Amino acid sequence: MSTTNARTEVSNQFPDWTGYNLLATDPALKESLTHAGADWAEPMLKVYAQQLGHAQTFELAELANRHTPELQSFDMRGHRINKVEFHPAWHALLGMYRERGLVSLPFENTAQKGRWTAWAAGFYLHGQIEQGTLCPATMTQACIPLMAREPALWAMLGSKLLSHAYDARDMPIAEKTSIWIGMGMTEKQGGSDVRANATLAVPLDAGGRGGAYRINGHKWFYSAPMSDAHLVVARLGQEDGPLGCFFVPRWRDDGVRNGVQVQRLKDKVGNRSNSSSEVEFVDAIGTLIGEEGRGIPTIIEMATYTRLNCVLGSAAMLRSALVQALAYTRRRSAFGKHLAEQPLMRAVLADLAIESEAALALSMRLAQAYEDDDAGNDNPLARAWKRVMTPAAKFWVCKRSVELTGEAMEVFGGNGYVNESLVARLFREAPVNSIWEGSGNVMCLDVLRALSRERDALEQLYADFTNAALDEPRIAKALRELHALFTAPPEQLEGIARLLVQRLVLIAQACLLKRHAPAFMADAFIATRLASPTGINGVVGAIDARGLDVDAILERALPQ
Q: Structural domain boundaries of the chain?
A: 27-73+82-141+151-162, 173-292, 297-557
Question: How many other C-beta atoms lie within 10 A of the C-beta of residue 491?
Answer: 7
Strand positions, DSSP E, 105-146: none
Query: Residue 236 forms beta bridges with which residues?
Result: 201
Q: Give Cα 78 to chain centroid, integer Å.
A: 38
Query: Whose CA is closest to 350, among 413, 411, 393, 425?
Result: 411
Q: pLDDT tier at 66 (50, 70, 90 boundaries)?
A: very high
Helix segments in 84-114, DSSP class H: 88-99
Query: Residue 333 forms beta bridges with which residues?
Result: 338
| CATH class in words for 173-292 | mainly beta
Q: What is the pLDDT of residue 375?
A: 79
Alpha-carbon span 35 to 65, nearest angstrom: 35
Classify strands 276-289 and 243-249 as parallel, antiparallel or unpaired.
antiparallel
pLDDT above 60 (res 2)? no
pLDDT above 60 (res 6)? no
102 touches 126 (CB < 8 A): yes
Alpha-carbon span 502 to 327, nearest angstrom: 30
Q: Measuring CA to CA, how many Å separate 405 from each of 128, 267, 316, 548?
A: 12, 21, 11, 23
Could you tell me what percentage of the chain is helix, strand and coil, using 3-state DSSP and rounding each to the nearest 5? 55, 15, 30
Mean pLDDT of 46-59: 98
CATH of 297-557, one of 3.20.20.60, 1.10.10.10, 1.20.140.10, 2.60.40.10: 1.20.140.10
Q: pLDDT tier at 1 (50, 70, 90 boundaries)?
A: very low
Q: What is the pLDDT of residues 304-347, one digit of tens each?
A: 999 999 999 999 999 999 999 999 999 999 999 999 999 999 99
Q: What is the pLDDT of residue 531?
A: 84
Residue type, 345: M
Classify strands 200-203 and 229-236 as parallel, antiparallel or unpaired.
parallel
Phi, psi of 286 (to 5 degrees): -140, 160
328 touches 409 (CB < 8 A): no
Alpha-carbon span 39 to 153, nearest angstrom: 35
Tell me the torsion sign for CA atoms 95, 100, 106, 109.
positive
Query: Whose CA is closest to 466, among 483, 443, 487?
Result: 483
48 touches 54 (CB < 8 A): no
- Max Cα-Cα span within the chain: 97
Phi, psi of 173 (to 5 degrees): -55, -40
pLDDT above 80 (res 469)? yes
Q: What is the pLDDT of residues 356-402, one digit of tens each?
A: 999 999 999 999 999 999 877 889 999 999 999 999 999 999 999 99
DSSP, residue by residue, 475-532: HHHHHHHHHHHHTS-HHHHGGGHHHHHHHHHHHHHHHHHHHHS-HHHHHHHIIIIIS-
Q: What is the pLDDT of residues 177-197, one digit of tens each?
A: 999 999 998 898 877 787 788
Mean pLDDT of 435-453: 95
Burial of 28 (0-12, 13-18, 19+ CB in 10 A): buried
Q: What is the pLDDT of residue 537?
A: 67
70 touches 85 (CB < 8 A): yes
378 touches 456 (CB < 8 A): no
Q: What is the pLDDT of residue 535?
A: 61
Alpha-carbon span 196 to 188, nearest angstrom: 10
261 touches 279 (CB < 8 A): yes
pLDDT above 60 (res 519)? yes
Q: What is the pLDDT of residues 195-204, one digit of tens each?
A: 788 999 999 9
> Is the whole-model pTM more than 0.75?
yes
Tell me the torsion sign for CA atoms 88, 94, 97, 99.
negative
What is the percent of the chain with per-residue pLDDT over 70, rounded to a whole number? 98
